[in-house]
Amino acid sequence: MHQPRDPFRWDTDFGRWVRSYGVGRIVQALGQDPDLRVTSQSVYEWLQGHAPRPPRAAALVRLSEGCLTLEAIYGHRSQLEALGREDHGDAE
C-alpha cells in the first residue's frame, strides 16, 4: 500500500539538505562507489523516516561538506514525528 507523502519531510535538517543538494545528485554521487549505490526511491524512503545504513550515512556527511551530521540523518525520523505532533496540536 502506498503511504502518503509526509509534508514535513523537507522541514528537518536532513530534508532541507536533500532538497538543496538534489535527489538526483545524491544518487549520482553515491553511485560512484559500487558499495554505496542507491536509487532515487531509496532517498525518498530516507525522507519518509527510513534511515540509510551507516556507510551511506557517512558518505552523505562527507558529500555535504559539513552541512549534514550523522545526528541530523538519524534524528530525521524523530524530527518528523515531532513536527507531525505540533501540526496536530499533540506536542508535549
Q: What confidence tens digit (pLDDT) does each residue in 37-75 have?
A: 999 999 999 999 999 999 999 999 999 999 999 999 999
Assess whether pLDDT exceeds 60 at residue 12. Answer: yes
∠ CA 42-5-71 to the nearest 5 degrees? 55
Percentage of the chain exceeding pLDDT 90: 68
Burial class, 45, CB count within 10 angstroms (exposed 0-12 / middle 13-18 / buried 19+): middle
Assess whether pLDDT exceeds 70 at residue 86. Answer: no
∠ CA 70-71-74 to the nearest 5 degrees? 80
Q: What mean pLDDT, rounded, does the chain reach?
A: 86
**18 neighbors 56 (Cβ within 8 angstroms):** no
Question: Cβ atoms within 10 A of the Cβ of 58, count?
Answer: 14
> Rounded to an integer, what distance in angstroms lies between the CA atom of residue 88 and that of residue 8?
12
Report residue 87's pLDDT band, with 50, 70 and 90 as the boundaries.
low
Q: Which residues of 3-15 are buried (b: 16+ CB within 10 A; e: fewer)?
A: eeebebbeebbbb
- pTM attached to this predicted model: 0.82
